[in-house]
């Protein structure tokens, strides 16, 4: 193999490696975006759970107050 052929071979390998790295980077960006979206969904779901738990606590307090009032009236 001549020096020119060696250089051409290395250049082709570098071009292939560059394409592979660019493809991997694109996949990594897609995975990162998906993870961010999943985290946002999890955060939203947790906010809903927290709000429902708070509301349930408030309803429980009102029911207990109503039960006390009913016992006192009997």
pLDDT tens readout for residues 20-68 = 999 999 999 999 999 999 999 999 999 999 999 999 999 999 999 999 9
Looking at the 3D structure of the chain, how many domains does it have?
Answer: 1
The parent domain of residue 13 ranges over 1-74
Q: What CA–CA distance (Å, rounded) separates 65 from 71?
A: 10
pTM over 0.95: no
Dihedral (C-alpha) 37, 39, 44, 45: value to the nearest 10 degrees? 110
53: number of Cβ within 10 Å: 10
pLDDT number for residue 1: 76
Among 47, 51, 50, 27, CA closest to 39 = 47
């Amino acid at each position: 193999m001549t020096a020119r052929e060696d250089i051409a071979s290395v250049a082709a390998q570098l071009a292939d490696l560059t394409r592979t790295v660019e493809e991997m980077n694109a996949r990594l960006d897609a995975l990162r975006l998906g993870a961010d979206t999943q985290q946002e969904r999890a955060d939203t779901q947790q906010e809903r759970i927290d709000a429902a738990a708070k509301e349930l606590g408030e309803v429980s307090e009102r029911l207990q107050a109503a039960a006390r009032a009913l016992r006192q009236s009997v």
